[in-house]
Amino acid sequence: GAVVSQHPSWVICKSGTSVKIECRSLDFQATTMFWYRQFPKQSLMLMATSNEGSKATYEQGVEKDKFLINHASLTLSTLTVTSAHPEDSSFYICSGTAGNTIYFGEGSWLTVV
Amino acid sequence: LAKTTQPISMDSYEGQEVNITCSHNNIATNDYITWYQQFPSQGPRFIIQGYKTKVTNEVASLFIPADRKSSTLSLPRVSLSDTAVYYCLVGLRMDSSYKLIFGSGTRLLVRP
């Protein structure tokens, strides 16, 4: 299947700082990518849809100024968590579509201390 | 709101066949049904996808009745390494891509 890569796999940051997570489609182009957040023992929650060359669309309850999404190319979308707080600690996962199938990245663990 | 309903958990033993059924009463004409497997601290992994009838690949089979309001993932002869959460998703088509809303998934525990 198609490959979606995320970086970093895990990151620890101090409260109040910003951290960027990258999502790359390695062997296909993705005009649309999705960002999810997952807390332990819970399902994935869709945060936003990342659109190449245009603004992201956010799900209800997700703060667009806090979770900045940039999709500057057909193979790269980035999620920046700004002014991070401990409650932002979570597992962040991105996905991209190849054909009729969505493929997910390996996920990125964010811990805010 | 999730568009699918699955059992919260299932138990099985090594070597048995496991069938996980998912309800998706409001499936749209263009929607595909896709199943994913997720291990702790990993992204979901694609297992199988179908539109109608039966689909089989090297790891699983997917059975979809004519009305497409449900689907059943069949895992033949499970092993301990199949212990994971299994998600059934129905695509909500958006232009050239799908917007997937996850339900609770089914936690499968395979015992020795």
- Contact check, Cβ <8 Å, B36/A6: no
Mutate to test the interface with B, among A7, A41, A43 (most CBs of B within 10 A): A43
Per-residue confidence (pLDDT) for residue A54, from 0 to 100: 85
> pLDDT tens for residues A55-101?
899 999 999 999 999 998 999 999 999 999 999 999 999 998 887 78
- Rounded to an integer, what distance in angstroms lies between the CA atom of residue B13 and that of residue B31? 33
Walk along chain B (112 residues) and give the pLDDT tens digit of each residue. 457 899 999 999 999 999 999 999 888 888 889 999 999 999 999 999 999 999 999 999 999 999 999 999 999 999 999 999 999 998 755 555 567 778 889 999 999 9
- Rounded to an integer, what distance in angstroms lies between the CA atom of residue B37 and that of residue B88? 9
What's the rounded mean pLDDT across residues A15-36? Answer: 93
- Rounded to an integer, what distance in angstroms lies between the CA atom of residue B18 and that of residue B83? 11
Per-residue confidence (pLDDT) for residue A58, from 0 to 100: 93
- Looking at chain A, the whole-number percentage of residues with pLDDT higher than 90 is 74
- Contact check, Cβ <8 Å, A91/B41: yes
